[in-house]
Structure 1
Amino acid sequence: MRSRRKRLEEVNVNLTPLIDVVFLLLIFFMVTTTFTRQTQLKIDLPQSQSEIQAEQQLPIEIVIDRQGSYALNGEVLIRSDLASLKAALVELSANQTDLPIVLTGDAQAPHQAFVTALDAAAQLGFVKVSITTQSETEDAN
């Protein structure tokens, strides 16, 4: 008896569904992607040969309490308005607007008190103003 050899069928992989899925994914990602253009200034800082460092200037500290009252370097102001704050800043700084100002306020202080202090510093020409905060880990202790 002679056995017949079975013919082996060719195995073909149909790539059409795979290509369709890839194109659908490509279209999906193209449609859902947002293209943002970030504009940044590229700055090349000037170089200097001298090694003299700038003097450390003592900052003017403005403290704002819970009621919105001001104290400059530990001295409490009688009135908490813009004019008296500006006068105290001029007197304390001796018209040196390059001095740094540190603004420290109570967490429950009115927002208007912060705005008034920042406005007074800006009107007098102070540009080095920072606001102190407390980290959450210190708050937990």
Structure 2
Amino acid sequence: MKFRRKQRENVDINLASLIDVVFILLLFFVVTTTFTRETQLRIDLPEAVSGSPAEDQTKQLDIAISADGVFSVNNQILPKSDLASLMEALQKESNGDTNRPLSISADGKSQHQSVIIAMDAAGKLGFNHLRMTTVEAAPSAP
């Protein structure tokens, strides 16, 4: 008895659907990925022996000045370090509320002119609760 052999079918993997799945996964990862950019300035605060801690920091505005003279208001770095852009950023962040406490955190190596610009901007906008941020100095040995 002679049996007839069936012809073998060629088994192919359909790559079109596989490529579709990989493309959809790629799109998913691209859309769900978050890119963070650090917008904080590194500041080495000057030291002071006397002072008092800030009361309510939830609604406090903070001006940070780096050693290079770059300003940031509430961790938002300003594109220009001049009086007009600082006043505009303070006005925007405070929503016109000049009774909010304002803290100036200047690097110990920053120029005095940068601190004066920050104080001038606060004074021109009418802020009356101004605080300079420092770190507590280590006690000196006798």
For the superposition of Structure 1 and Structure 2, which TM-score range results when normalised by the shorter chain? 0.5 to 0.7
Would you identify which runs of 4 or more consecutive aligned residues in structure 1 move more than 6 Å? none
CA distance in structure 1 between the partners assigned to 2:57 and 2:135 by the alignment: 23
What TM-score comes out, normalization by structure 1 length? 0.57
What residue ranges of structure 2 are gaps of 5+ in the alignment? 1-55
Mark the CA change 1:115 to 1:56 in structure 2 (over 3 Å): closer, same or farther.
Answer: closer
Partner of 1:81: 82
**For each residue in 1:6-60, what CA deviation from the matched residue of structure 2 results, as whole angstroms up to 9, or x when unmatched?**
xxxxxxxxxxxxxxxxxxxxxxxxxxxxxxxxxxxxxxxxxxxxxxxxx875100
- Which of 1 and 2 has greater Rg? 1
Structure 1: distance between partners of 2:126 and 2:58: 17
**What amino acid is aligned across from residue 86 of structure 1 in structure 2?**
M
The answer (yes or no) to whether the contact 1:57–1:99 under 8 Å persists in 2 is no
**What is residue 93 of structure 2 aligned with on the other side?**
92
CA contact (8 A) 1:104 1:133 kept: yes
Mapped pair 1:71 → 2:72: yes
TM normalised by structure 2 equals 0.56
**Unpaired segments of 5 or more residues in structure 1?**
1-54
* Partner Cα separation in structure 1 for residue 97 and residue 66 of structure 2: 26
Kindly, what percent of the aligned residue pairs are identical? 35
SS in structure 1 at match of 2:79:
coil
Size of the aligned set, in residue pairs, is: 84
Following the alignment from structure 2 to structure 1, what is the Cα–Cα distance between the partners of residues 124 and 110? 22
Equivalent residues in 2 for 1:117-132, closer than 5 Å: 117-132=118-133
Q: Please name the residue that 1:58 is paired with.
A: 59
The structural deviation recorded for 1:135 is: 1.7
2:117 maps to what in 1? 116
Given that 1:57 and 1:100 are in contact with CA atoms closer than 8 Å, whether structure 2 keeps it comes out as no
Q: Measure, in 1, the Cα distance between the counterparts of 2:123 and 2:71.
A: 17
The equivalent of 2:106 in structure 1 is 105
d(CA) in 1 for partners of 2:86 and 2:96? 14
Q: 2:76 & 2:104 partners in 1: Cα distance?
A: 14
Structure 2 Cα separation of the partners of residues 60 and 96 of structure 1: 11
